[in-house]
Amino acid sequence: MLPSSSRPIGLYPASGCVGIVPSNSPPALASAAGAYFTQAVYIEEKVTLSLGALSNLGWDGYQRLVYERAAAGIARQAQEFLARGYVTTAELRDLVEVQRNGLVVSMRKRLTPFGRFYSEKLKSAKSLPTVDSLVARKGSPMAVLASVGKTRAVTNRIAVFGRYAGPAGVVLDIVVVGVVIQQAPEQDRARIATREISGVVGSFAAGTGGMWAGGVAGATWAGTWAAPTLVIPVVGTITEGTAIVLGGVAGAFIGSWLGRSAGQAVGDQIWRVAPVEWTEYVG
């Protein structure tokens, strides 16, 4: 049967096609549905760009919270030694070199690639302090005890932001993708769902890699890539750490954008190679 104005025939899947409205559908209703779908796609595109950065910051922020609580336990033990008035060399060595340094190394294994790079740049696991080096720098074992368990304030603030913004961004992206799929024309919903989900997966994967690469670029830009230690303890930490974070966020956005496009292309390709079906709408 040849197509007519009362019997439009749609060929699915088709590149760029988001659905054909039957001729008996009210024009105003069809127009409104199309507008909602277009707006949802636009919002989803913007939200997904932040997925790589926020998901990585959220995970690392949570791991930082675990680290802070464990470090607080070490600090309480040190305070008990201070209250006692003395500490043996064996006790101090266990507290610093076994417990504290061991905590640093074990927690870094749980971080994202960006989180590990950031931590290693500010304090390499190969150069963690020993009891002898700390006593030489601080003057006495009791002074070492007073500082054991302290964490970087700058890193803690970044972690707090990540713990709140990260999960919120991920949830928002999931919600917006769900709205896009729900607002899609019924006959195209499965195809668009495949496309959007593939885009989210690509955005997350490429955003994670992009955040690490951006962090490396930020450290290189700061001119401290080859430096084994920071020259200025406080100012150097803030300067280098800020450069790494800014570079990481920029790299995550770029990676998420590229990954989303690539993922959606894969989703479209799945439907292009699928069997072609003719669908007839009877008006």
Look up residue 39 and give its two tokens.
């707006």
Task: Tell me if 122 sits within 8 A of 230, measured CB to CB.
Answer: yes
39-43, 176-180, 253-257, 278-282: segment of lowest average pLDDT: 278-282
Look up residue 192 and give its two tokens.
């668009």
Closest C-alpha among 253, 255, 273, 257 to residue 194: 273
Model pLDDT for residues 166-225, shown as the tens digit of each residue: 898 888 888 888 888 888 888 888 888 888 889 899 999 999 999 999 999 988 887 644
Tell me how far apart the alpha carbons of residues 177 and 197 are, in angstroms, rounded to a whole number. Answer: 8
At residue 211, the pLDDT reads 95
Task: Find the mean pLDDT for residues 80-90.
Answer: 90
What's this model's pTM, rounded to 2 decimal places? 0.73
Residue 196: HSE in the Cβ half-sphere, 13 Å Cα cutoff? 28
Closest C-alpha among 171, 175, 202 to residue 264: 202
How many residues make up the chain in this entry?
283
Tell me how far apart the alpha carbons of residues 243 and 246 are, in angstroms, rounded to a whole number. Answer: 5
Q: What is the DSSP letter of 130?
A: P
| Distance from the first to the final alpha carbon of the chain | 14
Task: Tell me if 148 sits within 8 A of 93, measured CB to CB.
Answer: no
